Amino acid sequence: MSENLFPSAHPLVAHKLTQLRDRTTDFRRFRSIVDELAMILAYEATRDLPLRAVTVQTPLTITQGVKMDARIGLVPILRAGLGMVDGMLDLLPQAEVWHLGFYRDEHTLQPVIYYNKLPTDLSKHHCFVLDPMLATGGSALAAVDILKERGVMKIKFVGLLAAPEGIAALHRKHPDVMIHVAIIDERLTTEADADAGFPPGFIWPGLGDAGDRQFGTIRD
């Protein structure tokens, strides 16, 4: 396993992830669980953020403490990544939030960008790319490319499920990017799964389309 790959071992994560996988979980509850998982994963993904020493006046005396010493940017990949923002902001209210929008070409499975709302210079920021699914890795890889072009030196990917193929694709080009996820699933679906009604490029066993299940837009 890569040294920059961190699947969660937290029992609450495993418990809540099982609820997400359940096809009977409706979109209201699904959205709530994504928010909860994002908060738990935020604890794990922020372990190494820099701190600076400060003094603080308690009701009894003056003592030493610390404050966060980092400019933080959250970069949800539209649209599924939006569901992870509030959970992250609960812990990091000082974070700035930017957006990147990609859609996946159904034939090539490659990401096509349609929205970019990033500042020009991000060289002083620690950035967290948010997307529930690291499947083929195309969108995550494209997001990291764009962030590095803007000068970002510290980038982490935070998601719920990752496929081995997506992890390999992201780390092949960007081995420095830490990946924090709830779990690593078995594989991606392929053309061989099409006869059973499953399109290629989905995480298996997965939880379906995270965007559709969050926002109630599942197609019959």
Q: Is 90 known to be catalytic?
A: no
Torsion angle of C-alpha atoms 128, 98, 216, 212, degrees rounded to 10: -60
Q: Is 31 known to be catalytic?
A: no
* CA nearest to 72, candidates 93, 42, 95, 92: 95
Using CA atoms, how far apart are residues 162 and 10, in angstroms rounded to an integer?
16
Phi, psi at 26, each rounded to 5°? -75, 170
**Catalytic option among 35, 86, 193, 212:** 212
Q: Is 212 known to be catalytic?
A: yes
The DSSP string of 27-43 is: HHHHHHHHHHHHHHHHH
The pair of three-digit structure tokens given for residue 22, joined into one six-digit string: 């359940």
**Catalytic option among 35, 71, 86, 104:** 104
**Catalytic option among 61, 63, 108, 120:** 108
Q: Is 46 known to be catalytic?
A: no
* CA nearest to 32, candidates 90, 84, 98: 84
Q: Which residues are catalytic?
A: 104, 108, 209, 212
